[in-house]
Structure 1
Amino acid sequence: MKAKILLLITFFTLIACKREQKKSPSESVSISNLVQYDEKNDALHLKSGNFTYDLKKNQIPFKKIILLNASMAGYISELGAENLIIGVSSPEYIYSDKIQNLIKEGKIQNVGSDQKYDVEKIISLKPDAIFTNYIASFDNAYQLLKNNGIQVIFLDEYMEQKPLEKTAYLKLFGKLFGKDKEAETKYVEIEKNYNELKQLALKAQSKPIVLANEMYGDIWYLPGGKTSVANFISDANAEYILKNNTDEKALTMSFEEVFAKSNTVQYWVNAGNHTSKKEMLSLNPFYGKLNVFNKGKIYGVIGKERQKANDFFESGIVRADLVLKDYIKIFHPELLPDYQLTYMKELQ
């Protein structure tokens, strides 16, 4: 009798386990406040800003994609998924050697520019999906593509202001390309590096004051105090001149306003893609009035630049750890004595 009772208990336990497996909870992943996705009912539900997508299991992983923004190429390259790309717009802005070689071989087609997309060519390529930042002026083109059964996915990673949240888009691309494990491994590695570098920066004996960006015409566009640039500077244990500001966008200031705040600035970073201080001065003589121009150090984002392509805006979007490492090397060189800058370069 006891044996029968035990068999019955075992039987019902197995049935209960099987039932539990069928009810497997949906996997919900939050990339940031802007982007989240979850899997349930044999579909992937994606929310990106104001847009939502329901992708059926037979739609993913995507096998043929088109990129309409060079910045997204960084995620594709990090996952080693360049062979999925069949088209790009404005290829001259893409830095990746592998993608450029695929373009030369005719395996990746040029589908226009950020001024005008070649919609007919895009339709003829029959991509599984197109990835792009949302630009309202292209609404008609987007609608035409959708009417032809093409999935257009809007991802505005440039709006993310926390460095590791930009990196976390790797997880989404991994999910869409069937490279979940690779994406998670890459993300964890970058996150670990970033947090270790952040702790290293705290060992510095000084906390220099920093100015960022440059003037365009009569306006200086300074990153707000909660932008990614400001977050990088803070995590590198330096003091940004607008550290108390709470904006997540650039602020417009006159030269006089910046001049009034910059007397004690020691470092000037993200000073465009100029090759020398002389070049900067020829474009804007006012720079010569700044103490940091004459006595401090100035760094441009020209460490990995080739003609119109700049890897800072490609792999640098993903590799938050390397960008932070550059800033730490600039502000606290004694902490990374053997490291050579990746994306930045000092202007002479």
Structure 2
Amino acid sequence: MIHFLTTCRFGKWWGCIPLLLVSFFLSAQSSTRPEQVRIRYAKGFSVRYAGTYKIVHILSPFGKSTDTARYLLIPRGKPRPKGFAGYEVVETPVRSLVAMSSMHIGLLGFLGAEDVLTGLGNLKYVSSPKVIARIEAGKVKEVGKDQTLNEELVVAMHPDLVMAVGTPNARLDRYETLRRAGIPVLVNSEWVETTPLARAEWVKLVAVLLNRETLVNQQFAKVEAEYNRLAALTRAVKTRPGVITGTAYKDSWFVPNGDSYMARFFKDAGASYPWAHTRSTGSLPLNFETVFPVGLKADVWLNVGLTDADTKKGVLGKDPRYAEFKAFKSGRMYNYSKRTNSRGSNDYWESGAVSPHRVLADLIRILHPELLPTHELYYYQQVK
């Protein structure tokens, strides 16, 4: 820039006008960039800026046709602009939020915005000390359980926004009562993203709602850089231990599909995953007989189960055949339950969603301890 101005000073001044305009435009763009988010990984939502307004599209990945929810984010007190028919209006910054899943707490915690939360689908499964304190102070109400919603209570609370969980059977018209009451509903389907960074990037959506773009850009950049650094450590590993994940529940054994974010975790951690070839997101239901031969050979058993599977005795209590698994015999069994509190709530499902670098570091330490010899497991612990 200094060189450019020096050149203009001794040249014809009118020849500098186009360059000055370009320079001014680039400078303006640079100065506003920290206040906007750029979505690089997530496929389930998009954000566009139009002056003081923000345009958000949420894409439902369920069903044969894509169901798109459209939102117009307007600065509080500003009039609704023309030309956005069919868009649901959300005033920003959002001051009160009802979340139907405790997993959404991690999104708020990443931004230091727990004080925005005024309602939860279930108060039991909470790990965040800040949110627990708000619950105990009566500042967060329970608005439903098991995906049910007390609509009368929510209407009486009249939050600025309700964040629901995206599921195959949760269509947008399910929340028509709330919409008629002037309460916008945003469906969060982060769990069907195909990579851990894409899943974590949903925190940018929350930042857009709270006008905290600058903060989220700074924070997410650190997570992104660390995750990519860790993933690079395993690219040249000579051996990839075979892994099995989960346990059977009733008649089904659900394993991550090959296009799920969990399968990507296994790949980036340097594992060999038996169902990496399946082309779908979410979970793949299998029967015990299909998974059992894989368990006999798998080197490491990950995500063994809930708190009742934190000991080998507890695992055998579910099914004595688990004793035949190679990982059971060697002791290479690990569960993501280290950060479980006295309420039975697990921080893996809260902060873990926005801290994929910590999850990946744990997995690399388990699968390739020589690559991270000093790392202390954060979410995972060995089943003994």
- TM-score with structure 2 length normalisation? 0.81
- The answer to whether structure 1 residue 52 and structure 2 residue 70 are counterparts is yes
Deviation at 1:18, TM superposition (A): 9.2
Q: Is contact 1:241–1:262 with CA below 8 Å preserved after alignment?
A: no
CA spacing shift, 1:257–1:92, aligned 2, 3 Å: same
1:68-107 matches, cutoff 5 A: 68-107=100-139
Aligned residue in 2 for 1:260:
293
Q: Distance in 2 between matches of 1:15 and 1:335?
A: 51
CA spacing shift, 1:40–1:163, aligned 2, 3 Å: same
- The answer to whether structure 1 residue 276 and structure 2 residue 308 are counterparts is no
- The answer to whether structure 1 residue 304 and structure 2 residue 336 are counterparts is no
Which among 229, 235, 244 is matched to residue 262 of structure 2? 229
Which amino acid letter does the alignment assign opposite residue 322 of structure 2? Y
Q: Distance in 2 between matches of 1:328 and 1:15?
A: 50
Aligned residue in 2 for 1:34:
44
**Unmatched tracts of structure 2, length 5 or more:** 1-11, 60-67, 77-90
Deviation at 1:290, TM superposition (A): 2.1
Q: Distance in 2 between matches of 1:188 and 1:106?
A: 35
Q: Distance in 2 between matches of 1:13 and 1:279?
A: 72
User: Deviation per CA, 1:128-158, whole angstroms, max 9, x where unpaired?
Assistant: 1111113546867611111110111111111
Deviation at 1:259, TM superposition (A): 2.5
Deviation at 1:108, TM superposition (A): 1.9
Which amino acid letter does the alignment assign opposite residue 344 of structure 1? Y
Which piece of structure 1 moves more, 76-85 or 243-252?
Answer: 243-252
1:186-225 matches, cutoff 5 A: 186-202=219-235, 204-225=237-258
Q: Distance in 2 between matches of 1:317 and 1:40?
A: 30
- The answer to whether structure 1 residue 158 and structure 2 residue 191 are counterparts is yes
- The answer to whether structure 1 residue 314 and structure 2 residue 350 are counterparts is yes
Q: Is contact 2:195–2:262 with CA below 8 Å preserved after alignment?
A: no
- The answer to whether structure 1 residue 325 and structure 2 residue 361 are counterparts is yes
Percent of counterpart pairs with the same letter? 26
Q: Is contact 1:88–1:109 with CA below 8 Å preserved after alignment?
A: yes
**Unmatched tracts of structure 1, length 5 or more:** 1-5
Deviation at 1:295, TM superposition (A): 2.8
Q: Distance in 2 between matches of 1:179 and 1:137?
A: 29
Which piece of structure 1 moves more, 143-152 or 293-302?
Answer: 293-302
Deviation at 1:225, TM superposition (A): 1.8
Q: Is contact 1:61–1:176 with CA below 8 Å preserved after alignment?
A: yes
- The answer to whether structure 1 residue 121 and structure 2 residue 153 are counterparts is yes
Which piece of structure 1 moves more, 79-88 or 256-265?
Answer: 256-265
User: Deviation per CA, 1:13-59, whole angstroms, max 9, x where unpaired?
Assistant: 9999999989x99x684352211110115421111112121222331
Deviation at 1:127, TM superposition (A): 1.1
Q: Distance in 1 between matches of 2:117 and 2:264?
A: 32
Please tell me the root mean square deviation across aligned C-alpha atoms, in Å: 2.8
Which amino acid letter does the alignment assign opposite residue 94 of structure 1? V
Q: Distance in 2 between matches of 1:255 and 1:210?
A: 16
Q: Distance in 2 between matches of 1:70 and 1:315?
A: 10
Task: Give the number of equivalent residue pairs.
Answer: 342
Which amino acid letter does the alignment assign opposite residue 157 of structure 1? E
Q: Is contact 1:219–1:252 with CA below 8 Å preserved after alignment?
A: yes
Q: Distance in 2 between matches of 1:260 and 1:272?
A: 19
Deviation at 1:342, TM superposition (A): 1.2
CA spacing shift, 1:41–1:92, aligned 2, 3 Å: same
